[in-house]
Amino acid sequence: MRKQKGFSLIELLIVVAIILIIAAIAIPNLMRSRMSANESAGAQTVRTLITNAVTYSTSYPTVGYPGSVGAMGGANPCTASSLTACLIDSVLGCGTPACIRDAYKYQVTGIGGSATTPNTDFVIFATPTGPNAGAKDYCATADGVVRFVADTAPPGAAMTTTAACLPLPPL
């Protein structure tokens, strides 16, 4: 009589099947958790941008609120001016009209200003960069309230004006 060592093919297939079932249950929950974390980070970054936009307006009263997200940032090493205020890091204040961070794209638009008058308002707009990044768009104005488009609306809905942002529900 010969004694068998190791596992049979059936036993190995059963173990693999159990692992696949557990993975099928866990992966959707992981994706929902990741989307929720991205949405929380997006909302917090909008709050940070609001605070820095107000700081910018008090630091540069002749300009008013920043005209873009890049005006609040600056490349390292940063020298503070009205064009690069050094209030946010170089990733978020990338110098382009829209900067990507934490799976969201952020845009700041100054409103009401001209070459001779300061910006009297601003709109911050944040949208997810992909279908798994998040399901909410965020916006904020000089009133300091972060607002969002409900999960039922398609992500990417434009909220780049004060009139589009103010009617939305606050967080």
The residue with greater pLDDT, 6 or 25, is 25
pLDDT computed for residue 1 by the predictor: 62
Please tell me the pTM assigned to this model: 0.81
Report the 10 Å Cβ neighbour count for 12: 11
Three-class SS string for the chain?
Answer: CCCCCCCCHHHHHHHHHHHHHHHHHHHHHHHHHHHHHHHHHHHHHHHHHHHHHHHHHHHCCCCECCCCHHHHCCCCCCCCCCCCCCCCCCCCCCCCCEEEECCEEEEEEEECCCCCCCECEEEEEEEECCCCCCCCEEEEECCCCEEEECCCCCCCCCCCCHHHHCCCCEC
Q: What is the pLDDT at residue 49?
A: 94
Rounded Cα distance between 157 and 154, Å, is 6
pLDDT of 157 strictly over 60: no
* Rounded mean pLDDT, 87-91: 88
Q: What is the pLDDT of residues 29-80, one digit of tens each?
A: 888 899 999 999 999 999 999 999 999 999 999 999 998 898 998 888 888 8
State pLDDT tens for residues 106-156: 999 998 878 789 999 999 999 888 878 888 889 999 999 999 986 655 555
Classify residue 134 by burial, with Cβ atoms within 10 Å: 0-12, 13-18, 19+: buried
More confident residue, 98 or 17: 17
Determine the pLDDT at residue 133: 84
pLDDT at 22: 93
